[in-house]
Structure 1
Amino acid sequence: MKDFLPVLKILLRFVVIYIVLVLLYQFYLNGYEKEVVDPFTRWVAKQVAFLQDLLGFPTILVDNMKLHSVLFRTSGKFTTRMVEGCNVFSVAILFAAFIFAFYKGKKTFLYVAGGLVILHILNVFRIALLNIIYLKYPQYEKIGHDYIFPAIIYGGVVILWLVWIQFFALKKTGRP
């Protein structure tokens, strides 16, 4: 059992941090139940619309209270809708909990901050590209939404985890 103690400590830290972050996020979301979407989700939608505009796909955001969504009207056509689950926050919680489970001091906070920025950027590009696929290549909607684009986010998380483990968490220090 003694050999498993370090692993159990890491696992316990992960579970506790994950549960605390999920509860805090749920508390945040509860404050916006009567809104179309929460402010963070709206912020992500605005960034996606801005990127799509830059890429030559004029986009208007349309609130839909019935669906608790922000609809993307891209080049005059409704493409997708932004819901809370698309804002990458839940995935970011999972990412952060894992990194903090392997806590290594101040650099842990820096790595989590950098990783969250990377995941956010990946997510904005992912949603913009998904809207473009819905507009230009509708035959690939399902495979894009259900397989390719989740793989981008989860693949990004796994790569960030592997980098953290390989180069920070398990790296030997010069001390005895």
Structure 2
Amino acid sequence: MKALFQKYKTVIRFVVLFLGSYVLLSICYAVYLQLSKGGAFTPDFITNLVAKQSSAIIGGFGYEALVQPSITEPIMELYVNGKYLARIIEGCNSLSIIILFMAFVIAFAEKFKKTLLFLFGGAVLIYAVNIVRIVILAVSLYHFPEHKEILHGVVFPGLIYGMVFLLWMLWVRMLTPKVRR
């Protein structure tokens, strides 16, 4: 049994670090969401902030954008030029994706400073791209509402998860020792 653990030591380390950090970060996020209930921001501070930032950028493109808390659900309602377009829910704030990204990077952690910088840079990039994703999705839905299912269900999730995958590949590539010839 000891030989088996030695043989698969790196795989076991990866799985333990990935699952451990993912579970820990997910628990922290769940606590954050629980503490946010009934607070000053609907549905929570970060989702509220993402909705307002998205609305401001949409407005910057010349559209009349408005986000407001729903009176019936813990969501933000997004209007463009007076037309109700979308619900911005807790899942739209990118934190779940950032947690997944961080768990993978931590599982392949190397030097503390390098890992911390990559985690911070990646999280900021994912957050920013998520806001851009919401903006483009909202404007696309405004002009092409008949394509809602493919835009919201396939194209835009594919972009954000594809970017996370590319960040993971960059991280692994940064850790791979360079072979000199």
TM-score, structure 1 length as denominator? 0.94
Q: CA offset at residue 56 of structure 1?
A: 1.4
Distance 1:11 1:67 in 2: 38
Deviations 1:99-125 (A, max 9, x none): 011111210000010001110111001
Within the candidate set 46, 49, 65, 1:59 is matched to: 65
Matched, 1:17 2:21: yes
Deviations 1:115-140 (A, max 9, x none): 01110111001111111111111111
- Counterpart of 2:122 in structure 1 is 115
One-letter amino acid matched to 1:16: G
Identity %: 31
- Counterpart of 1:7 in structure 2 is 11
Return 5+ residue gaps in structure 1 as ranges.
none
Distance 1:20 1:164 in 2: 21
How do 1:94-109 and structure 2 match up within 5 A?
94-105=100-111, 106-109=113-116
Structure 1, 151-160 or 65-74: larger mean CA deviation: 65-74
Distance 1:51 1:173 in 2: 45
> Are the aligned partners of 1:14 and 1:98 in contact in 2 as well (CA < 8 Å)?
yes
Secondary structure of the corresponding residue to residue 34 of structure 1? coil
User: Does the C-alpha gap of structure 1 residues 3 and 170 become closer, same or farther in structure 2, counting only changes over 3 Å?
Assistant: farther
- Counterpart of 2:79 in structure 1 is 73
Q: CA offset at residue 172 of structure 1?
A: 5.1
One-letter amino acid matched to 2:94: V
Distance 1:31 1:165 in 2: 35
One-letter amino acid matched to 2:164: V
Distance 1:71 1:22 in 2: 26
- Hey, which bits of structure 1, 4+ residues long, moved more than 4 A? none
- Counterpart of 1:142 in structure 2 is 149
Distance 1:173 1:123 in 2: 36
Within the candidate set 31, 44, 50, 1:27 is matched to: 31
> Are the aligned partners of 1:41 and 1:87 in contact in 2 as well (CA < 8 Å)?
yes
> CA RMSD, aligned part only?
1.5
Q: CA offset at residue 173 of structure 1?
A: 9.6
- Counterpart of 1:90 in structure 2 is 96
Q: CA offset at residue 34 of structure 1?
A: 2.2
Aligned residues: 173
TM-score, structure 2 length as denominator? 0.91
Q: CA offset at residue 10 of structure 1?
A: 1.1
